[in-house]
Amino acid sequence: MINRVVLVGRLTRDPDLRTTGSGVSVATFTLAVNRQFTNAQGEREADFVNCVIWRKSAENFSNFTRKGSLVGVEGRIQTRSYDNNEGQRVYVTEVVVDNFSLLESRSQTESRRSGENNFNGNSNQSFGNNGFNNQGQTPTNSAPKADDSKPIDPFADSGSTIDISDDDLPF
Protein backbone atom coordinates (compact mmCIF):
# COMPACT_ATOMS: atom_id res chain seq x y z
CA MET A 1 0.00 0.00 0.00
CA ILE A 2 1.11 3.54 -0.71
CA ASN A 3 0.62 6.57 1.49
CA ARG A 4 2.63 9.45 -0.03
CA VAL A 5 1.64 13.09 -0.23
CA VAL A 6 3.34 15.92 -2.10
CA LEU A 7 1.99 19.45 -1.57
CA VAL A 8 3.05 22.91 -2.69
CA GLY A 9 1.53 25.92 -0.98
CA ARG A 10 1.99 28.87 1.32
CA LEU A 11 2.07 28.89 5.11
CA THR A 12 -1.03 30.46 6.64
CA ARG A 13 0.91 31.47 9.78
CA ASP A 14 4.37 31.08 11.29
CA PRO A 15 5.16 27.46 12.24
CA ASP A 16 4.42 26.62 15.88
CA LEU A 17 7.61 25.00 17.25
CA ARG A 18 7.33 23.09 20.52
CA THR A 19 9.32 20.51 22.44
CA THR A 20 7.88 17.29 23.85
CA GLY A 21 8.49 16.22 27.44
CA SER A 22 11.30 13.98 26.20
CA GLY A 23 13.01 16.87 24.39
CA VAL A 24 11.92 16.10 20.81
CA SER A 25 11.16 19.15 18.63
CA VAL A 26 7.85 19.23 16.76
CA ALA A 27 6.41 21.98 14.58
CA THR A 28 2.85 22.30 13.34
CA PHE A 29 1.68 24.51 10.50
CA THR A 30 -1.12 24.88 7.99
CA LEU A 31 -0.43 24.92 4.28
CA ALA A 32 -2.79 26.74 1.88
CA VAL A 33 -2.79 24.80 -1.39
CA ASN A 34 -4.58 26.34 -4.38
CA ARG A 35 -6.96 24.14 -6.33
CA GLN A 36 -6.32 23.75 -10.05
CA PHE A 37 -9.78 24.95 -11.07
CA THR A 38 -11.93 28.00 -10.39
CA ASN A 39 -15.40 28.19 -8.88
CA ALA A 40 -18.54 29.58 -10.61
CA GLN A 41 -17.42 33.16 -9.84
CA GLY A 42 -14.03 32.56 -11.51
CA GLU A 43 -12.15 32.57 -8.21
CA ARG A 44 -9.52 30.03 -7.27
CA GLU A 45 -10.23 28.24 -4.00
CA ALA A 46 -7.67 26.72 -1.65
CA ASP A 47 -7.48 23.76 0.67
CA PHE A 48 -5.94 24.27 4.11
CA VAL A 49 -3.92 21.21 5.10
CA ASN A 50 -2.65 20.68 8.65
CA CYS A 51 0.95 19.44 8.78
CA VAL A 52 3.37 18.27 11.46
CA ILE A 53 7.16 17.91 11.21
CA TRP A 54 9.52 16.39 13.79
CA ARG A 55 13.05 16.66 15.23
CA LYS A 56 15.83 18.69 13.56
CA SER A 57 13.74 19.17 10.44
CA ALA A 58 11.11 20.91 12.60
CA GLU A 59 13.73 23.30 13.97
CA ASN A 60 15.09 24.08 10.49
CA PHE A 61 11.61 24.52 9.04
CA SER A 62 10.68 26.95 11.81
CA ASN A 63 13.92 28.91 11.39
CA PHE A 64 13.67 29.34 7.62
CA THR A 65 9.93 29.84 7.02
CA ARG A 66 7.38 32.44 7.97
CA LYS A 67 3.73 33.18 7.23
CA GLY A 68 3.32 33.31 3.45
CA SER A 69 6.47 31.29 2.64
CA LEU A 70 6.12 29.14 -0.47
CA VAL A 71 7.14 25.58 0.42
CA GLY A 72 6.90 22.08 -0.94
CA VAL A 73 6.38 19.22 1.50
CA GLU A 74 6.51 15.46 1.12
CA GLY A 75 5.14 13.04 3.66
CA ARG A 76 2.26 10.76 4.57
CA ILE A 77 -1.32 11.25 5.69
CA GLN A 78 -1.99 10.26 9.28
CA THR A 79 -5.27 10.08 11.17
CA ARG A 80 -5.52 10.00 14.94
CA SER A 81 -8.06 10.71 17.62
CA TYR A 82 -8.15 11.91 21.21
CA ASP A 83 -10.69 12.87 23.86
CA ASN A 84 -10.94 16.62 24.48
CA ASN A 85 -11.68 18.34 27.82
CA GLU A 86 -15.43 17.86 27.37
CA GLY A 87 -14.94 14.11 26.88
CA GLN A 88 -15.76 14.25 23.17
CA ARG A 89 -13.79 12.18 20.67
CA VAL A 90 -11.86 14.46 18.26
CA TYR A 91 -10.51 13.08 14.97
CA VAL A 92 -7.49 14.69 13.32
CA THR A 93 -6.15 14.15 9.80
CA GLU A 94 -2.74 15.67 9.07
CA VAL A 95 0.33 15.29 6.88
CA VAL A 96 3.42 14.03 8.69
CA VAL A 97 6.21 15.77 6.75
CA ASP A 98 9.34 13.78 5.92
CA ASN A 99 11.01 16.29 3.57
CA PHE A 100 10.47 19.90 2.63
CA SER A 101 11.78 22.36 0.06
CA LEU A 102 11.88 26.13 0.22
CA LEU A 103 10.53 27.30 -3.13
CA GLU A 104 11.30 31.01 -3.19
CA SER A 105 14.46 32.99 -2.71
CA ARG A 106 15.24 34.91 0.43
CA SER A 107 14.90 38.20 -1.48
CA GLN A 108 11.38 37.23 -2.66
CA THR A 109 10.38 36.31 0.88
CA GLU A 110 11.77 39.54 2.30
CA SER A 111 10.25 41.75 -0.40
CA ARG A 112 6.83 40.13 0.05
CA ARG A 113 7.23 40.40 3.81
CA SER A 114 8.30 44.07 3.64
CA GLY A 115 5.30 44.77 1.38
CA GLU A 116 3.05 43.30 4.08
CA ASN A 117 4.87 45.29 6.75
CA ASN A 118 4.34 48.55 4.89
CA PHE A 119 0.67 47.68 4.56
CA ASN A 120 -0.12 46.60 8.11
CA GLY A 121 2.60 48.35 10.09
CA ASN A 122 4.41 45.27 11.44
CA SER A 123 8.12 45.52 12.12
CA ASN A 124 10.53 44.15 9.54
CA GLN A 125 12.05 40.78 10.42
CA SER A 126 15.28 39.21 9.27
CA PHE A 127 15.27 35.72 7.78
CA GLY A 128 18.01 33.13 7.61
CA ASN A 129 19.40 31.82 4.35
CA ASN A 130 16.67 29.67 2.86
CA GLY A 131 18.98 28.06 0.30
CA PHE A 132 19.31 25.02 2.53
CA ASN A 133 17.57 21.69 2.34
CA ASN A 134 15.59 20.21 5.22
CA GLN A 135 18.77 19.21 7.05
CA GLY A 136 19.99 22.81 7.01
CA GLN A 137 23.52 21.78 6.09
CA THR A 138 23.95 21.75 2.32
CA PRO A 139 22.68 24.26 -0.22
CA THR A 140 19.84 23.00 -2.42
CA ASN A 141 21.08 25.12 -5.33
CA SER A 142 24.85 24.99 -5.26
CA ALA A 143 25.40 26.99 -8.46
CA PRO A 144 27.50 30.10 -7.88
CA LYS A 145 25.54 33.34 -7.93
CA ALA A 146 26.47 36.75 -9.25
CA ASP A 147 23.89 38.30 -6.96
CA ASP A 148 21.27 36.80 -4.62
CA SER A 149 18.70 36.22 -7.37
CA LYS A 150 20.16 34.41 -10.41
CA PRO A 151 22.61 31.50 -10.70
CA ILE A 152 25.55 32.01 -13.08
CA ASP A 153 25.40 29.90 -16.24
CA PRO A 154 29.01 28.69 -16.77
CA PHE A 155 28.29 27.78 -20.43
CA ALA A 156 26.56 31.00 -21.52
CA ASP A 157 28.35 32.97 -24.25
CA SER A 158 31.53 30.89 -23.96
CA GLY A 159 31.75 30.47 -27.73
CA SER A 160 33.42 27.10 -27.39
CA THR A 161 32.00 23.63 -27.69
CA ILE A 162 32.21 21.03 -25.00
CA ASP A 163 34.05 17.87 -25.99
CA ILE A 164 32.64 14.81 -24.20
CA SER A 165 33.87 11.40 -25.23
CA ASP A 166 32.06 8.13 -24.60
CA ASP A 167 34.58 7.37 -21.86
CA ASP A 168 33.33 10.39 -19.88
CA LEU A 169 29.73 9.15 -19.74
CA PRO A 170 28.67 7.02 -16.75
CA PHE A 171 26.43 4.72 -18.84
**Is the Cβ–Cβ distance between 131 and 107 less than 8 Å?**
no
User: Domain boundaries in the chain?
Assistant: 5-120
pLDDT digits (tens, 9 = 90+) for 126-168: 333 333 444 443 344 444 444 555 666 655 665 666 666 666 6
Question: How many Å apart are CA 110 and CA 113, to the nearest integer?
Answer: 5
**Strand, helix or coil at 30?**
strand
Whole-number pLDDT of residue 108: 79
**Is the Cβ–Cβ distance between 50 and 93 less than 8 Å?**
yes
Between 55 and 108, name the one with better pLDDT: 55
Task: Tell me what percent of the residues of the chain surpass a pLDDT of 70.
Answer: 66
Distance, CA of 60 to chain centre:
11
Mean pLDDT of 99-118: 77
Which fold, 5-120? OB fold (Dihydrolipoamide Acetyltransferase, E2P) (2.40.50)
Which pTM does this prediction carry? 0.63
Q: Does residue 91 surpass a pLDDT of 90?
A: yes
